[in-house]
Structure 1
């Protein structure tokens, strides 16, 4: 029972940050929006041998291959939202379904972050007999990981 009680705060913390991120779905977006749209188009429309050589846009694919394969996986889901976002020649393309897809893909990948944060926090030793949640190292670590201000700005607010 004590192990369950000591982690009862984690779902509330994760849901709180997830709901906050959902509020940013309709927020403006930065040039990163077009960068990722273009990377989706490149990985979806071109053979692997041309991924790093396509230069019709200033936003060339310049991330490591694992990320490119991640973009390819996302592109298969993106085609169900708006297939036009996956055309390399559609520079600066933005539509409501494209914006929604980009926001939802960030929120869905946050599930991996939540899982990783929980596993990371489980490695931190709890103070025995401590009832104040703010004095628990796992709570502080989880709050810092899940409510990371940099991720809030980069992935949500600066998407215009």
Structure 2
């Protein structure tokens, strides 16, 4: 099982996730279409060339958020998560473009024993996503309910 048990985590622990992902036009267009997001910023290249400071389409920020968290799962919560409790302080300081390659790091920023579930705890992660130039393109805090190592 690749995930980490709650009692194996420590505040300040940093995961440099080995998986990287180059974002494609298909990723952006399909995600935007599947989620019924018709924003020209994601779908209309000509509009973006003529009317935006970027001069090209930008990747849907909800896709960026999902990709950032998804890349982290294998090293942190795969097989040990009970539930995702929420995302806070979600930020996109720079846009992500088709062809950008994303790398992600995750820091454990808070741990708390569950008062109602003695075999579980609440972990808060800070996820950060960077493009191939080292620019921060997304970050968030994510809280989740995580299993402790089974007794035995």
Between Structure 1 and Structure 2, the one with more helix by share is 1
Higher Rg of the two aligned structures = 1
Could you say which structure has the higher strand fraction? 2
Instruction: State the TM-score, normalized to the length of structure 1.
Output: 0.30
TM-score, normalised via structure 2 length: 0.31
